[in-house]
Amino acid sequence: MIKKITVLAICLLALTVCTSEPKRYAYHVTVAGGPSGWPIWAEEISLDQSFIPGGVNSSGYEHTPPRGASIVVRSPAPAPQVVQARWFSYRQQKYYEVTFQLPEDLESDLRRWFKEYPPEDYSHYLSLGFSGKGEALAWWRAQCGPCGFDRSYDFHTPLIENVKAQEVPGDPNRYRQQTQQFINEGRIPASVLQ
């Protein structure tokens, strides 16, 4: 009898551990800067305190959904909860930092979206945008692979928008050469460095 109870207890414990493990999702993280004429450099980005390489000095922030460079493919991971970022605005010659929570119900949304837009046919993206004006946003999108160039099958929705970042200290001279290049290309006004 004790042996049966022990086996039953182990089975119940295993079942509890398996069901309490959060579902994991494979997705790309893209980063957009801008809007056009307001280039940025994302120095640090992290999801749930997991570092993601930065970069991106292009536009794309102003598009719906934001268009950015794919900077990392997340191995299957639980639904992200917190985004932290630090970036430099070339046009304003300022540094910004932001930390924001993604929606609490994102886990249930991801379950639904991965079912409606299965990974066999769709690539999923967490699109993060950081503006040269000190704002941030996050969108989720699913892009249909087998659909060719017919984007009408794609899905996208905002997760959070209009997040105001904090201006933080930093040395703009670190980006002086790139700033000058943007001025020479006519992407930002020469008055930026005056």
Asked if pLDDT for residue 52 goes beyond 60, the answer is yes
Query: Tokens 């493919």 appear where?
Result: 73
Domain boundaries along the sequence of the chain: 22-193
Mean of per-residue pLDDT scores for the chain:
88
Q: Residue 162's Cα: distance from chain center in Å? A: 14
Note the pLDDT tens digit of each residue in 34-45.
888 899 999 999
What distance lies between CA 115 and its chain's CA centroid?
21
Mean pLDDT computed over 21-42: 90
Return the residue matching tokens 């109870």: 5
How far out from the chain centre does Cα 108 lie?
A: 18
Predicted local confidence at residue 61, as pLDDT: 87
Q: Comparing 8-12, 82-86, 88-92, 166-170, which segment has the lowest mean pLDDT?
A: 8-12
Please name the amino acid found at residue 87. W
Banded pLDDT at 184 (limits 50, 70, 90):
very high
Q: Is the pTM of this model over 0.75?
A: yes
* pLDDT range class, residue 71, cuts 50, 70, 90: confident
**Which one, of 166, 110, 105, 156, lies nearest residue 134 by Cα?**
166
Alpha helices in 120-175 (DSSP H): none
The arithmetic mean of pLDDT across residues 174-189, rounded, is: 94
- Res 114 pLDDT > 80: yes
